[in-house]
Amino acid sequence: MPTPEVSQPVPALDIAGLTVRYGPVVALDDVSMTVHSGRICGLIGMNGSGKSTLFKSIMGLARPTAGRVTIAGHTIAQARARGLVSYVPQAENVDWEFPISVREVAMTGRYGRQNLFRRITSRDRTAVDDALDRVGLTDLADRQIGRLSGGQRKRAFVARGIAQGAEILLLDEPFAGVDKRSEATIIDLLRELTAAGRTVLISTHDLSTLPSFASEAVLLMQRVLVHDTPEEALRPENLALAFGVDVTGRDAEVNR
Ligand SMILES: Nc1ncnc2c1ncn2[C@@H]1O[C@H](COP(=O)(O)OP(=O)(O)OP(=O)(O)O)[C@@H](O)[C@H]1O
């Protein structure tokens, strides 16, 4: 009797042979990696190793010279049209003086699917209220985004992803400049989201906390050097490969 075929789940993120160049600079070189739904994948690498370029590629903001990115079985264009990916930017890339409230930041998650000028519906409002409630920012909803603490600002952007209904959240150094309590709040939130089937790709320079929340880790240096459990990925010999120096011990906080 023929063995019945076991169907494999469609990965949340599937990157194959991705190469990105900025002129003569090779930012990503033949990167291949797969992340399944419900996982928190830590992205680690020294400054300039290509982490932000990888995020931009997944968002469709960096044009690859080779390779492809597939999101929940969709092309980037399809994933964008469906609002499947949401990005929590590095703090330094945001104009915090921009006159926009926390609620409006979350509401921008609802626009990606259609155009900016469509009427806001009661469904949008409910989705945004629910998202703000999930991240604990209901009481600060009408405050200008720049008048929040660092940790609260990150949560506002996570609320945008939740309101959007994104399947994948990309977080670019969410713990930089954030105190331990806010960091713990964000990690709890990410755990809740992944328990509900969402997927998280998170870049961080803080290697000490990574094993406590990540299900897997990728060490990047233009290429994927290691993709394994956080414990394996953070072995001293792997860190030496990724950072070009002998970084021993988990307490190392590099590039800071
Ligand atoms: N717009 C650009 N034009 C030219 N080169 C760029 C551009 N953006 C990034 N690079 C280069 O591409 C390489 C990868 O940069 P990228 O920002 O992806 O690294 P990163 O790992 O995110 O760094 P960091 O940890 O400092 O944020 C670096 O050599 C960088 O100088």
List the residue whose alpha carbon is closest to atom 11 of ligand 1: 27
Q: Is the CB of 49 under 6 A from ligand 1?
A: yes
User: How many A from CA of 48 to the centre of ligand 1?
Assistant: 5
Q: What is residue 179's predicted lDDT score, i.e. its pLDDT?
A: 85
User: How many A from CA of 50 to the centre of ligand 1?
Assistant: 6
Pocket test for ligand 1, best of 18, 29, 44, 49 (most atoms within 8 A of CB): 49
Residue 150 C-beta-side C-alpha neighbours within 13 Å? 14
List the residue whose alpha carbon is closest to atom 12 of ligand 1: 27
Atom of ligand 1 nearest to the CA of 45: 21
User: Measuring CA to CA, which residue among 141, 177, 182, 178 is closest to residue 159?
Assistant: 141
Q: What is residue 251's predicted lDDT score, i.e. its pLDDT?
A: 43
- Residue 239 structure tokens: 């860190």
Q: Backbone phi, then psi, for 42, in 5-degree steps?
A: -85, 135
List the residue whose alpha carbon is closest to atom 2 of ligand 1: 22
ipTM tops 0.90: yes
Instruction: Provide the β-strand partners of residue 80.
Output: none
Contact 200, 217 (CB under 8 A): no
What is the spatial distance between Cα 130 and Cα 216, in angstroms, rounded to a whole number? 29
Q: How many CB atoms lie within 10 A of CB 197?
A: 10
Helix (H, G, I), strand (E, B) or coil at 32: strand
Predicted confidence pLDDT, tens digits, the chain (256 residues): 556 666 778 999 999 999 999 999 999 999 999 999 999 999 999 999 999 999 999 999 999 999 999 999 999 999 988 899 999 888 777 888 888 999 999 998 987 655 666 788 899 999 999 999 999 999 999 999 999 988 899 999 999 999 999 999 999 999 988 888 888 989 999 999 999 999 999 999 889 889 999 999 999 999 999 999 999 999 999 999 888 765 554 444 444 4
pTM as predicted = 0.89
Helix (H, G, I), strand (E, B) or coil at 26: strand
Pocket test for ligand 1, best of 18, 19, 20, 22 (most atoms within 8 A of CB): 22
Instruction: Provide the β-strand partners of residue 88.
Output: 171
Q: What is residue 253's predicted lDDT score, i.e. its pLDDT?
A: 47
- Residue 81 structure tokens: 């049209």
First to last CA, the chain: 60
Burial class of 92 by CB neighbour count within 10 A (0 to 12, 13 to 18, 19+): exposed
Contact 53, 5 (CB under 8 A): no
Q: In the chain, what are the domains? A: 10-83+214-256 (3.40.50.300)
Contact 221, 46 (CB under 8 A): yes
List the residue whose alpha carbon is closest to atom 4 of ligand 1: 22
Q: How many CB atoms lie within 10 A of CB 62?
A: 19
Helix (H, G, I), strand (E, B) or coil at 36: coil
- For tokens 């982490």, the residue is 51
Q: What is residue 111's predicted lDDT score, i.e. its pLDDT?
A: 77
Q: Is the CB of 117 under 6 A from ligand 1?
A: no
DSSP state, 206? B
User: How many A from CA of 141 to the centre of ligand 1?
Assistant: 34
E strands, 105-221, in order: 168-172, 199-203, 216-221
Q: What is residue 48's predicted lDDT score, i.e. its pLDDT?
A: 93
